[in-house]
Structures are given as structure tokens and as C-alpha cells.
Amino acid sequence: MNNDDKYKNVSRRSFLKFCGGALTACTTCSLPLPLKGAGSRPPAAGVDKKHGVKEAKYFEKLAEKKIQCALCPHECRVADLERGTCGVRENRDGTYYTLVYGAPCSANIDPIEKKPLFHYFPGTEAFSIATAGCNFVCKFCQNWEISQKRPEQVESIDLPPERVIAIAKNKGCKLVAHTYTEPVIYYEYMLDCAILGKREGVPNVMISNGYIREKPMRELCRSLGAVKIDLKAFTEKFYAEMCAGKLKPVLDTLKVLKDEGIWFEIVVLLIPTLNDGAKEISDMTQWIVKELGPDVPLHFSRYYPTFMLKNIPPTPPETLLAARKIALANGVKFVYVGNILSGAESTFCPRCGKILIERMRFASRVTGMKGNKCKYCSETIPGVFG
């Protein structure tokens, strides 16, 4: 799950209203236009509709019509007519299917800073979508109302990849973001959006927990523009007890991203007493510098009580600033603090110290850069700045 705190869980009515401009304008770009309401998907019937059900890309057939999913490290073994842990993939007669292809339950336009991606086209907007489902069960999930649901428990809309890219273009969005829930579980849909987006000049970004196996991740890297990974903590204990997952596969994904050369940033949601110890932050940031290099932007984000974790108060600002200090001391060059106003949201040149990109919450202003360099001392700033 990601840290977006104000997603819009879109209803059919509000989505159609939202799309109104795009639908009208699409008459000029000759895209097929659904009749108003024709693309809707009533709850409970959604998974049985042709649209939304598509054969999965990564699975193996086993004896007795069983399958083994090969998409994420859970590697679910699924009997006929059963689903995997994420709840959006189903075995039908020995073949595995995604049930959410082209069927988002959330859509909104967000600034890229909200994802957060700070070194990737700052100041632009992303057409942001999500389907139901997740392969983690984070007790502190901010979007649990859609991430912890099955497709038939939410209202979704028919939105094939061509429509996603067309709406992004029509609304003036530089990017498409797969966000709010966990896009790995709707892999085939995200991949097709990314392939088409790359061709059409609308890069797709994945906002993810990084819980994906190596082969599908490498395939995705060929088409995605950038990735943000939520590193939930730096202990297996936290991942097991708080997320129902494992840390090591996430670290492996980060190494794959580094190896693939795709742009990526890391977010750590600091939760008091659970993952905010100085030693854990130090171990984590030393690992980042050693394995990924000092240029990967690192965001420490403030936790607020929600979902199953309501007994712990919000992260004190001083904890976030202390974590930032540790990360900087360990050599991470770009360390940000989010979900509070601290002055630590802006980008500073690591060489001359001048301010390059000013940020206030989700607004940003590029003031000190020329291309991808500091305009004061010509230091190259890592990222994709357009």
C-alpha cells in the first residue's frame, strides 16, 4: 500500500461525471466511446462479466486442475474455483485468471508529488487508478476500504488501457499512476497500460509494495517510466506481524530496479515503536547506500492511526527529522519528510546546498535547475526532470 491519504473511491456516477470532458473530447481522437452508463459494472456481477476477466500471465498448471501463481512471492497454490491471497485471481478449470483487467474502482488526478515521486517530472499531474485488492494485509493501510476488498465488493468501471491513456492525455496529465492499492495484483492491466503509454508518450508509474517476483518485475521495467516502493520496515518481524509478507523479496525487488536502471524512489512510513528505532533506520539506510547507491531519494512519511492500528498515536515530527538526520549521515543524498510541514520537502543541491525545487505539501516549483543540473554549481541531479 502507499501513503496517499485522500484517494477518491470513485462511484459510477462521479466517475462518469469526471470523464465527461474526456468522453466528449475523445470524439476528436477517434477512440471508441461507450454510451453513458454502458461501461458500468454493478457490484457482485463484476467478476462474471467478460470484461475484467483475462487469463493471467504468470502461473503454472499443476495436477488435478490446480495452479501455482508465479506473480508474487506468496506463490499461491490454488485449487479449481478458488482464489489466491490477493482475492482478484481465480482458478477456473485449471487456468488462472485476473478478475480486474480494465476494471478500476478508483480514479483521480493527483500531483506526482503525492505519490510521492520527487525526482520524476516534478510539478506534473498523474491520472491515477487502482483496482480492488492487495497481496499484503497491512494493519495500518490507509486505503483498506479498497485494498482489502474483492472485486465484487466494490463498484468498478470498464476502463481498458486505451481509455486510460486517452483520458490522461485529454486531462493534460503527463503520466498514469498505478496507485492506492497494490498494482502488482492487477499486473496484466498495468502492463498493457504501460506498453501503450510508452508508445503514446504517457509514461506509467507503479506505486507499489515491491512484493513481486523477479521475472514479472523485469518485464514491467521495459515499459514503466518509474517506480515508488514502500519499504515498510527493515525487519522480517514487522513484515510478518504487520503486513503478512516478507522483507527479503522487497529488498530483492529494489536490487532488480537498480539493475534495470529504471528510476525509483523509496518511502518509509515511520510508526512509533514499531519501525522507528535509530538502529533500524541506520541499518536500512546503510543498506540502501551500499546496495542501491546514494542517489535514490528516500522519503520518511508520518503515520496516522487507521484501519487495524488505531492504538498508536501519529508519528512525532521529531522522529521523522531524526530519521532524516541518520539517513543523511549515512550518505543518502536526498532525504525527504512527508505528511508534515517541516521544510524538509524541498530538494537541495547536495554540492552547493542551494534550493533546487521548492515544495509545500503537494505543490512544487522548480527554481534552481537547468535541465537536470543545479543552475548554481552545475551538479547533476539524479532523476527525470523533462
Residues at the contact surface with ligand SF4, assessed by CB under 6 A: 69, 71-72, 74-76, 84-86, 89, 135, 185
Residue 72's φ and ψ, nearest 5 degrees, are -125, 165
Helices (H), the chain: 12-25, 144-147, 161-170, 187-200, 214-221, 236-238, 247-260, 278-292, 317-329
Count of C-beta atoms within a 10 Å radius of residue 63: 6
Closest C-alpha among 166, 234, 249, 158 to residue 201:
166
Which residue number places its CB atom closest to ligand SF4?
84
In the bound state with ligand SF4, the residue whose beta carbon lies nearer, of 36 and 61, is: 61
All residues at 6 or more sequence positions from 17 whose CB lies less than 8 Å from its CB, including other chains: none
To the nearest whole angstrom, how small is the minimum distance from the Cβ of residue 72 to ligand SF4? 3
In the bound state with ligand SF4, the residue whose beta carbon lies nearer, of 139 and 324, is: 139
Q: Is the dihedral of CA 185, 110, 304, 287 positive or negative?
A: positive
In the bound state with ligand SF4, the residue whose beta carbon lies nearer, of 22 and 76, is: 76
In the bound state with ligand SF4, the residue whose beta carbon lies nearer, of 74 and 299, is: 74
Q: Is residue 110 packed enough to be buried (19+ CB in 10 Å), middle (13-18) or exposed (0-12)?
A: buried
In the bound state with ligand SF4, the residue whose beta carbon lies nearer, of 98 and 108, is: 98
To the nearest whole angstrom, how small is the minimum distance from the Cβ of residue 56 to ligand SF4? 8
Report yes or no: 186 and 88 within 8 Å, Cβ to Cβ: yes
In the bound state with ligand SF4, the residue whose beta carbon lies nearer, of 141 and 335, is: 141
All residues at 6 or more sequence positions from 61 whose CB lies less than 8 Å from its CB, including other chains: 67, 94, 95
To the nearest whole angstrom, how small is the minimum distance from the Cβ of residue 155 to ligand SF4? 22
Write down the number of H helices and E strands in the chain: 9, 21
N residues, the chain? 386
Grid cell listed for 179: 496507485
To the nearest whole angstrom, how small is the minimum distance from the Cβ of residue 184 to ligand SF4? 6
To the nearest whole angstrom, how small is the minimum distance from the Cβ of residue 185 to ligand SF4? 5
To the nearest whole angstrom, how small is the minimum distance from the Cβ of residue 244 to ligand SF4? 10
3-state DSSP assignment of residue 238: helix
Separation CA 320–CA 330 (nearest Å): 15
In the bound state with ligand SF4, the residue whose beta carbon lies nearer, of 72 and 337, is: 72
In the bound state with ligand SF4, the residue whose beta carbon lies nearer, of 97 and 300, is: 97
Strand order in the sheet with 89-92: 54-55, 95-98, 89-92
Separation CA 217–CA 202 (nearest Å): 20
All residues at 6 or more sequence positions from 271 whose CB lies less than 8 Å from its CB, including other chains: 140, 303, 309, 312, 315
To the nearest whole angstrom, how small is the minimum distance from the Cβ of residue 242 to ligand SF4? 17
To the nearest whole angstrom, how small is the minimum distance from the Cβ of residue 240 to ligand SF4? 16
In the bound state with ligand SF4, the residue whose beta carbon lies nearer, of 89 and 302, is: 89
To the nearest whole angstrom, how small is the minimum distance from the Cβ of residue 86 to ligand SF4? 3
